[in-house]
Copies of this chain bind each other. A is one copy, B any other.
Amino acid sequence: MQEFDLIARYFAPLATAPEAFGLKDDAAIIRTRHGFDLVITTDQVAQGTDFFADDPPDAIAKKALRVNLSDLAAKGAKPEYYLLNLALPRSVREEWLAEFAHGLSEDQRQFGISLLGGDTSATEGPLSISITAMGFVPEGRMVKRSGAKVGDAVYVTGTIGDSGGGLALLRGEANDFGEADRAYLVNRYRLPHPPATFGTTLYDIAHAGVDVSDGLIADLGHLASASGVGIVVRGEQVPLSPALKALWGTDTLARAVVGGDDYQIAFTAPSGLSGPFTCIGQVQAGEGVSLRMNDEAVVIPQPGYRHF
Q: Taking the full assembly, how many copies of this chain does it contain?
A: 2
Q: Closest CB of chain B to A70's CB: distance in Å?
A: 8
User: Cβ of A240 < 8 Å from any Cβ of B?
Assistant: no
User: Cβ of A85 < 8 Å from any Cβ of B?
Assistant: yes
Chain B residues within 8 Å of A251, by CB: none
CA distance A210 to B121 in the complex (A): 19
Q: Closest CB of chain B to A122's CB: distance in Å?
A: 4
CA distance A2 to B304 in the complex (A): 11
User: Cβ of A62 < 8 Å from any Cβ of B?
Assistant: no
User: Cβ of A80 < 8 Å from any Cβ of B?
Assistant: no
Q: Mark A67-101, 1 if CB is under 8 A from B, else 0.
A: 00001101101000001010110100000000000
CA distance A137 to B26 in the complex (A): 14
CA distance A174 to B191 in the complex (A): 53
A-B contact pairs, 25 of them (CB 8 A): A3-B306, A3-B308, A21-B145, A21-B146, A24-B145, A24-B222, A27-B40, A28-B41, A29-B37, A29-B39, A32-B32, A32-B34, A32-B36, A32-B37, A40-B116, A40-B117, A42-B83, A42-B85, A42-B118, A43-B85, A87-B128, A88-B308, A122-B307, A124-B125, A125-B125
Which residues does A use to contact B, with CB under 8 Å?
1-3, 6, 21, 24-44, 46, 48-49, 71-72, 74-75, 77, 83, 85, 87-88, 90, 116-126, 128, 130, 132, 137, 139, 142, 144-146, 210-211, 222, 226, 306-308
